[in-house]
Amino acid sequence: MANETLKAGFEAYTAGVVAKLDKNPERGNLEPSRLYTPLDVEGFDYEKDLGFPGEYPFTRGVQPTMYRGRFWTMRMYAGFSTAEESNKRYRYLLANGGSGLSCAFDLPTQIGYDSTDAMAEGEVGKVGVAIDSLADMEILFDQIDLSKVSTSMTINAPASVLLCMYIAVAEKQGVSADKLRGTIQNDILKEYAARGTYIFPPKPSMRLITNIFEYCAKNVPLWNTISISGYHIREAGSTASQEIAFTIADGIAYVEAAIKAGMDVDAFAGRLSFFWNAHNNVLEEVAKFRASRRVWAKVMKERFGAKKAKSQMLRVHTQTAGSMLTAQQPNNNIVRVALQTAAAVMGGTQSLHTNSKDEALALPTTESVTIALRTQQIVAYESGLADTVDPLGGSYYVEALTNKIEAEAWDYIKKIDEIGGAPEAIAKGYIQKEIQDSAYKWQMDIEKGNKIIVGVNKFQQEEEAPKNLLRVDGSVGELQAKKIAALKAKRDNAKVEAALATLKAACADDSVNLMPLILDAVHAYATEGEICGVMREVFGEYKSHVAL
């Protein structure tokens, strides 16, 4: 046993350290072990556990050469106020080296209300751009060539409607749907569990999702039909292991639903994508990315019998952790985001959004967004982190941590399977409870000083209130109301009525794919609220139960 001498050496080292701990004490509350050695990765099998990049189980990455070929897509999440304002920000980002778009919609748009709905009061244009109809979407992508850009849309419950609007704008530009590249978030399960922009109950929601899978497989083949999101689960307070476990459990539910709807796994699985959070603990995050790829590859191959490599790959978009930004000493956030960016890149992300320093206070200004984008460019071009594939592969610590996170994820997935799958675990409040417990523990650790956040519970200083925050004024709601009134006066209302009636009838018939009918209604300039309105009438609305 070659490890015998190592074991003896390690024991001697430990004894030596412990003997002097009184004189040379260590900091408290340290989670990792003091030192990682080959003893921590006993049984490690390179070919089985890591393999080569681009090959099963994809631990080292989903592409053979990773960033040596092309950097990740630098995709800045943006959108506020009107379509006109957001269009300006998109064109600014693309002109400054952004390589893809990422649309933030306001909450009424995300929940299927027109800007004029009573529920939209105070919210229009606030956290994203207000989109009421195809007319707004045409303005949003004005002078942006949809055959060239890839666009991610953070839209879930009404993802079908916004995707149809995007397809319709592209048609008007002369770009056919089979050329379109991008992603819709379309992940309703995490909305129930963590993010809150649900509309319909689970059953019709899952139907809409499988309708989209099916429609896109035939008509929009390059589109990522879902972005199964751990980001918001982490933002809601989960740990790294919970983030990937709950998300992969959601992924399992989507795959099962599509298979149950009669689809072949390899016909749609290649278009499934994921969304991770890049949090503060750099090495834990790197391990999380690596572990998540290994878990998903095994799930797809062993559980679902997926044969194509593409179906087994976990491709991921990443955003730096918004909840880790501090309102105190906001310039410090630039440094946090740089470290989180390093984690996402060493973790092997396919695209990345970097948060801006002022986002604990308001939506970001152009200046702060530029710094955030430049942060990615500095990591890409200057840091060397992107020059070799999976640079931390083989680190005793990172491999041990990857194994640990994977094992914790499997434990959760097993537990969720026993409950009856992710939808059932959410219905029972199990996932929400686990997340809340972690969130509470995090907060108490900060309040007790077990965890230090610079500028918040240590190194505080008196500060002036920050200036130059971006404000969205209240007139956006009035402006959108005028646009809707003008639209309704101009469009062929009989055609709208007919399209909505057809859609409504089809909602009641599970065998119909709703996508072509939603597209018809979009073409007729039905508003988003009208389209979601008829679906609400048939499907009803989800009511969450609250537990503390």
Partner 1 sequence: MDKRIRVLVAKPGLDGHDRGAKVVARALRDAGFEVIYTGIRLTPEQIAESALQEDVNVVALSLLSGAHNTLFPKIVELLKAKGMTDVLTIGGGVIPDSDIPGLKAAGIAEVFTPGTPTSAIVEYINANVK
Rounded-to-integer distance, Cα 397 and Cα 395, Å: 5
Q: Report the residue number, 123 or 243, with the smaller CB distance to partner 1.
A: 123
H helices within 155-301, ranges in order? 159-173, 188-190, 202-219, 231-235, 240-260, 265-268, 282-298
Residue 80, amino acid: F
Give the pairing of strands 73-78 and 181-184: unpaired
Closer of 30 and 118 to partner 1 (Cβ): 118
Residue ranges in 430-449 that form contacts with partner 1 under rule CB under 8 A: 436, 439-440, 443, 446-447
Q: Which tokens go with 400?
A: 């041990």
Site string for partner 1, 247-286 (x = CB under 8 A): ----------------------------------------
Q: Does 2 bind partner 1 (CB under 8 A)?
A: no
368-341-392 Cα angle (round to 5): 165
Which C-beta is closer to partner 1: that of 96 or that of 326?
326
Q: What is the DSSP letter of 48?
A: I
Q: Least distance from C-beta 522 to partner 1, angstroms?
A: 23
Q: How far is CA 520 from CA 176, 277, 336, 507, 524, in A?
A: 16, 36, 46, 14, 6
The Cα–Cα gap between 366 and 93 comes to 9
Nearer to partner 1, 460 or 493 (CB): 460
* Dihedral sign of CA atoms 66, 68, 69, 71 in order: positive
**Integer Cα distance of 216 and 515 in angstroms:** 9
Using the rule CB under 8 A, is 89 a contact of partner 1? no
Give the integer Cα–Cα distance in Å for 231 and 292: 13
Rule CB under 8 A: say whether 383 interacts with partner 1. Answer: no
- Which of 39, 127, 385, 512 forms a contact with partner 1 (CB under 8 A)? 127
The residue range among 116-124, 336-344, 388-396, 410-418 that interacts with partner 1, by the rule CB under 8 A, is: 116-124
Q: Give residues 479-538 in contact with partner 1 (rule: CB under 8 A).
A: none
Part of the chain binding partner 1 (CB under 8 A), chosen from 14-22, 204-212, 249-257, 360-368: 360-368
Question: What DSSP state is assigned to residue 450?
Answer: S
Window 290 to 329, contacts with partner 1 (CB under 8 A): 323, 326-328
Residue nearer to partner 1 on the CB measure, 46 or 459 = 459
Give the one residue of 334, 361, 479, 538 binding partner 1; rule: CB under 8 A: 361
Amino acid in the structure at residue 447:
E
Length of the chain counted residue by residue? 548
Residue 360 binding partner 1, by CB under 8 A: yes
- Outline where DSSP puts E strands in 13-126: 73-78, 100-103
User: 483: number of CA atoms within 13 Å, CB side?
Assistant: 24
Interface residue with partner 1, options 99, 365, 502, 544 (CB under 8 A)? 544
The CA–CA distances, whole Å, from 512 to 148, 201, 324, 503, 506 equal 32, 18, 44, 10, 6
Structure tokens at 80: 């506020």
Binding residue for partner 1 (CB under 8 A) from 12, 35, 119, 501? Answer: 119
Q: Name which of 179 and 448 has its Cβ closer to partner 1.
A: 448
Q: Which of 11, 84, 121, 492 binds partner 1 (CB under 8 A)?
A: 121
**Contacting range for partner 1; rule: CB under 8 A; set: 35-43, 232-240, 242-250, 408-416:** 232-240
Task: Determine the 3-state secondary structure of 40 from DSSP.
Answer: helix
For partner 1 (CB under 8 A), the number of binding residues is 47
Q: How far is the CB of 475 from partner 1 (least distance, A)?
A: 13
Tokens encoding 292: 């998540």
The single residue among 111, 177, 189, 249 that binds partner 1, judged by CB under 8 A, is 111
Determine if 108 is a binding residue for partner 1 (CB under 8 A). yes
Positions in 173-202 near partner 1 (CB under 8 A) = 191, 194-197
Rounded Cα distance, 254 and 422, in Å:
10
Strand 316-320, strand 73-78: pairing: unpaired
Number of C-beta neighbours around residue 546 at 10 A: 7
> Which 447-476 positions form the footprint of partner 1 (CB under 8 A)?
447, 453, 456-457, 465-466, 469, 471-472, 474
For partner 1, the binding residues (CB under 8 A) are 107-108, 110-111, 118-123, 126-127, 191, 194-197, 235-237, 323, 326-328, 360-363, 436, 439-440, 443, 446-447, 453, 456-457, 465-466, 469, 471-472, 474, 544-546, 548
